[in-house]
Amino acid sequence: MKIHFVVLISFTVLVSCNTDQRIEVQVKQPMPEKRPHEMTLHGNTRVDEYFWLRDDSRKDPQVLAYLAEENQYFDKMMAHTKPLQEELFKEMTARLDPDESSVAYEQGGYWHYYRYEPGGEYAIYARRKGSMEAEEELLIDGNQRARGHDFYRLGGFEVSDDQRYVAIAEDIVGRRINRIQILDTDSGKFLPDSIDNASSGMAWSADGQYLFYLNKDTETLLAYQLMRHTLGTDSSEDVLVYEETDNTFYTSVWRSRSQAYIFLAHQNTDTTEVQVLPADEPLGTFKPFLPRETGHEYAIDHVGDRFFIRTNWNASNFRLMSASLESSADKSSWREVIAHRDDAMVQDFQVFDRWLLISEREGGLRKVRVRSLDGCTDRYLGAGEEASVMWLHSNVSVHTDTVRYGYSSLTTPGQVWEIDLNTGTTRLLKSDRVLGGFKRDNYRTSRMVVVARDGAQVPVSLVWHQSTRLDGTAPALIYAYGSYGSSMDPWFDDSVISLLDRGFVYAIAHIRGGQEMGRKWYEDGRLMHKKNTFTDFIDVTKSLQKQGTIDRSRTYAMGGSAGGLLMGAVVNMAQELYHGVVAAVPFVDVVTTMLDDSIPLTTGEFNEWGNPHEKAAYEYMLSYSPYDQVSAQDYPNMLVTTGLHDSQVQYFEPAKWVARLRDRRTDNNRLLFHINMDAGHGGASGRYRRYLETAQEYAFLVDLAHPEQRAQNSDMK
C-alpha cells in the first residue's frame, strides 16, 4: 500500500550569509496518503482523511515513516538557518548562571537546596545539617539519574519527617508516568521498594513508615487510585485507600504546610472536594472537608486548630474563610477572613501562626498582600514596575514571622525577597544572575489596554530594546495562552532577549480564558464564550498594527498547547495579519478529541470546552476547531511542533492538522513540522538542551523577519 506521496515546492534561500545571491531549490514536501474516515453525530458527517495517523502504540512503521519524513523535510528547509540556530543557542545558554542554585530552606534541622554544576543538564539536590556552613550531603544527582535516558524529569521529591527517607518520582519517557523510588539517607542507597505507573504527587505519614501515592489509569493516564505503601515491602502489597470513579475529576495528594494532615483533592474545572487524614493516623480513613458541590471550588490549608479556605461560595472572585475540622461540612459555620471583591481576585494564600500571605490579582497584575490574623495589619507589598509579577515563595514552616516572596518583570530577572512581618524590613535573598552581557537598562517595558470588539479591555504587556523604535518599523512577536484560567504573567524570560536584541517587540496579550482580570475573565473565554479568546488576540494584533507600534508586514504569533489551539483558530480567522506563526504542541482537533474518552484529559475537560455529545456544544466547538475549519485559503508561514510521547496533546493532532493544511492551502509559504521523538508535552528535558528547541523556533522567526541578516550578530548587543 502506498504510504504517502510528495510534491515539489520552490523555496528561495540565501546561499551565503555575506551575499544577496539567491537560488531556487526544490524540496520534497511530505503529503501523507488520504484514507477517508467518516464520523457522524447530530446528523452531521465529518470526513477525516488522516485519522489513520493515530497510533497509540507509537510503533506503526507507516506512521513512524511519515513522521521521520516530516523531520527530514524540516531539517532541509531549516538547513540554511543552522548557523543562526547555533548562534541563538550559544547566546541563550551563555546567559545561564553555571553555578545556579536555589535559596535554601530549613526543614527538620536541615537546610535543603538544589544547585547546578557548570555544564550540568539536571539539578543536584542536597542539604546541610544545622546551617549552610556545614558539610554538604548530596541526596539526588539528576545528571547521574538521567544517564542513559533520552528524556528525564524529576517530578516529585518528598522527605520523611525524620529526614531519613527521600521519595522521588521520575519520568524517563515524557508521558508523565513516573516510577517512585525511596532513598535511605543513612546508607546512601535506594531501597528495593519501587513503584511504577504513578503520578508525581506523594505524601509521607508522620512516622515515615507509609508513603501515599496515586496510581494512574493505563489508558487515560488519569491519577485515580490513592495507594498506601508500607516502607520496605513490595509494591504488589500496597493498599488501595480510595478510588475516584468519576473520570471528569483530577486527583492529587500532598501534606499540609503544618504537616499535621494529608490532603487528597479531587477537582475538575468548576468543582472541588478535599479529603483530609491526620498524618499521624496513616491507617485511618480520609474524610471530606466538605463534600463536592457542583460549581463550588475551594482550597484549604491548616494552622493550629483552624483551617483556612479559599472559596468561591457566594464569591465569584473568591474569598478567604476559616473553620474547624469538626464543623467544616457546614458552610454556615465558616467565618469570613478576607471578603470578596469585584475588582480583585484571591488567587492563592499561605497561612502562618500569626499571619496570612495572600496572592491577589488586581488590574491584571499579581500582588502580594500581608494581613495579620488579628486584623491589625493589612497592606500590599510594593511592586515598582508597571508590568510585573509578585508571588508567594516556598515558605515551608508555618511557625515564623519572616516569610519569602518573589518578584519579576519583563526586564527584571527573578528575585527572592524576605520580609520581617513585624517590622516590615525586607532583604533581597537572591536575584537571578543573567550572564552573556545582559544589562537590564538596555530594555524598556510598558503596559497598555486594547479595547476589544465587544468593549472588553484587554491588557497587553510589552518589552523591547531601548534602541528599537515603536514607530511601525519593528517586527513583533505576540504571545498568549487564554485557557483553563491560566494567566500569562509578565515574567522575565532570558530567551526572549535574543529576539529583543534583533529588533523585535515582544508582547503578551492577556486575553480572555485566563484569569488576569478575575474569574469573569475566565468565564468569558470558555465553553460557549470560547471565541472571545481568539477575537481578543486578533483585536490586540490589529490595535498594535493600527497604532503604528509594530510592523504590519512582520507580525508574528506564538502559542503552545491550548495556546496552539489559539494559533490554529487565529490563522483560520485572520491569517492576513501574520507573516509567521509558531504553534507548539497545539490542541487543534477539538471535536474528535473531546468525543474520545480514552484520550488522556478528555473527560476532565468537558467543563472547559464543552461536551460535544450535546448538539449545541458540538456545533459551537466545530465552528472554531482548527482542524475542522482548515479551508482553501492562504496561510502564514508556520512552524508546528510536537512530541511523540505527549500525553497532554497527542502527536497525531498536529500531524493531521499539518497534513490537511498542506492539502488545502493556496499559498507557497513555509509549513514546517518538527517532532521530538524522545519527548512529551514539555519538550526536551535538560537545562541546556531545552534551548535547542527554542533556538529552532526563534531562528524560524528571525529568518522570516530579517532574511538579509541570517547568521549575523545583532548590532544592538
Calpha distance 224→220 (Å, rounded)? 10
Hey, what amino acid is at 137? Answer: E
CA atoms of 623 and 635, how far apart (whole Å): 18
**Residues contacting 43, CB < 8 A, separation 6+:** none
Read off the DSSP letter of residue 620. Answer: H
Residue 175 belongs to a domain: yes
Of the pLDDT bands very low, low, confident and very high (cuts 50, 70, 90), residue 716 is very low
pTM higher than 0.85, yes or no? Answer: yes
> Of 550, 579, 614, at which residue does a domain stop?
550
Q: Is residue 384 part of a domain?
A: yes
Report the C-alpha gap between 63 and 54 in whole angstroms: 8
Inside any domain, residue 716:
no
Q: Report pLDDT digits (tens) over 99-151.
A: 999 999 999 999 999 999 999 999 999 999 999 999 999 999 999 999 999 88
Q: Which residue has the higher pLDDT, 545 or 5?
A: 545
Mean pLDDT for the stretch of residues 28-57: 96
Other beta carbons within 10 angstroms of residue 620's beta carbon come to 19
Structural domain including 51 reads 1-96+555-711
Report whether pLDDT(22) > 50. Answer: no
Q: Are 701 and 582 in contact (CB under 8 A)?
A: yes
CA dihedral (499, 503, 504, 505) positive or negative: positive
Domain boundary among 502, 519, 550: 550
What count of other Cβ atoms lies within 10 Å of the Cβ of residue 277? 23
**Percent of the chain scored above 90 by pLDDT?**
86
> Which segment, 174-178, 541-545, 593-597, 604-608, is predicted with the most confidence on average?
541-545
Beta pairing, strands 505-509 & 476-479: parallel
The three cell numbers locating residue 185: 539517607
Question: Which of 565, 569, 566, 611 has its CA nearest to residue 588?
Answer: 565
pLDDT for residue 648: 73
| Confidence category of residue 680, pLDDT binned at 50, 70, 90 | low
Residues 450 and 428 in one domain: no
pLDDT band at 713 (very low <50, low <70, confident <90, very high): very low
- Name the DSSP letter for residue 43: T
Q: Is-contact 28 8, C-beta < 8 A? A: yes
Residue 84 lies in a domain: yes
Q: Do residues 14 and 3 share a domain?
A: yes
Grid coordinates standing for 590? 477539538
Q: For residue 709, what pLDDT is reported?
A: 67
Q: What pLDDT, on a 0 to 100 scale, did the predictor assign at position 717?
A: 37
Average confidence (pLDDT) over 396-414? 96
The pLDDT confidence band at residue 382, using thresholds 50, 70 and 90, is: confident
Over residues 184-197, the mean pLDDT reads 95
Residues 6+ apart with CB under 8 A from 122: 116, 141, 142, 143, 145, 146, 152, 154, 685, 686, 687
If asked whether residues 419 and 471 sit together in one domain, one would say no
- Give the CATH number, domain containing residue 246: 2.130.10.120
Residue 570's Cβ-count burial label (10 Å; 0-12, 13-18, 19+) is buried
- Length of the chain equals 717
Across the range 4-20, mean pLDDT stands at 39
Query: For residue 146, what is the enclosing H or E element?
Result: helix 142-146
Same domain assignment for residues 299 and 231: yes
Can you give 384-438 as a three-state secondary structure string?
A: CCCCEEEEECCCCCCCCCEEEEEEEECCCCCEEEEEECCCCCEEEEEECCCCCCC
- Is 510 part of a structural domain of the chain? yes
Report how far residue 634's alpha carbon sits from residue 571's, in angstroms, rounded to the nearest whole number. Answer: 9
Please identify every residue annotated as catalytic. Answer: 561, 646, 681
What pLDDT does 17 receive?
37
pLDDT of residue 678: 82
User: Are residues 359 and 347 part of one domain?
Assistant: no
Q: 466 and 590: one domain?
A: no
- pLDDT, average across residues 9-28: 45
Question: In the structure grid, which three cell numbers stand for residue 673, read together?
Answer: 513540522
Instruction: Let me know whether 113 and 249 are in one domain.
Output: yes
Backbone angles phi, psi at 406, to 5 degrees: -115, 160
Residue 324 CB coordination number (10 Å): 12
Number of domains in the chain: 4
- Give the pLDDT band (50/70/90) at residue 651: very high
Q: Are residues 116 and 247 in the same domain?
A: yes
Q: Do both 384 and 346 map to the same domain?
A: no
Q: Mean pLDDT for the chain?
A: 92
291 within a domain of the structure (yes/no): yes
Half-sphere exposure (CA, 13 Å, Cβ side) for 241? 25
pLDDT at 649: 87
Query: In sequence order, what are the residues at sequence separation of 6 or more whose Cβ sits closer than 8 angstroms to the Cβ of residue 546?
Result: none
Indicate the angle between helix axes 531-546 and 615-624, nearest 10 degrees: 30
Which CATH number belongs to the domain containing residue 455 in this structure? Answer: 3.40.50.1820
What is the Cα–Cα distance from 351 to 359, expressed in whole angstroms?
12
Determine the pLDDT at residue 28.
83
Coil, strand, or helix at residue 17? coil
Cell of 88: 541563538
Look at residues 381, 510, 520, 514 and name the one whose alpha carbon lies nearest to residue 447.
Answer: 510
Residues 580-609 have pLDDT tens digits of 999 999 999 999 999 998 877 677 789 999
Q: In this structure, are 324 and 377 located in the same domain?
A: no
SS3 category, 268:
coil
- pLDDT tens for 652-677 read 999 999 999 999 999 999 999 999 98
Please tell me whether residues 529 and 628 are part of one structural domain.
no
What per-residue confidence (pLDDT) applies to 687? 86
% of the chain at pLDDT higher than 70: 94
Domain annotation covers residue 717: no
Query: Do 635 and 705 share a domain, yes or no?
Result: yes
Give the separation between CA 345 and CA 338, rounded to whole angstroms. Answer: 11
Residue 681 binned pLDDT confidence (cut-offs 50, 70, 90): low
- Hey, what's the cell of 532? 472571545
Q: CA 545, CA 576: separation in Å to the nearest integer?
A: 12
pLDDT beyond 50 at 19: no
Residue 597 lies in a domain: yes
The CA–CA distances, whole Å, from 232 to 195, 211, 219, 356 equal 12, 11, 29, 39
> Which among 330, 352, 374 is the end of a domain?
352
Least confident of 21-35, 194-208, 242-256, 382-396: 21-35
Within 524-644, residue ranges assigned H as helices are 531-546, 562-573, 590-594, 606-609, 615-624
Ranges of H-type helices in 259-345? none
The residue type at 24: E
Side chain identity, residue 580? G
Q: What's the rounded Cα separation, in Å, for the pair 649 and 643?
A: 9
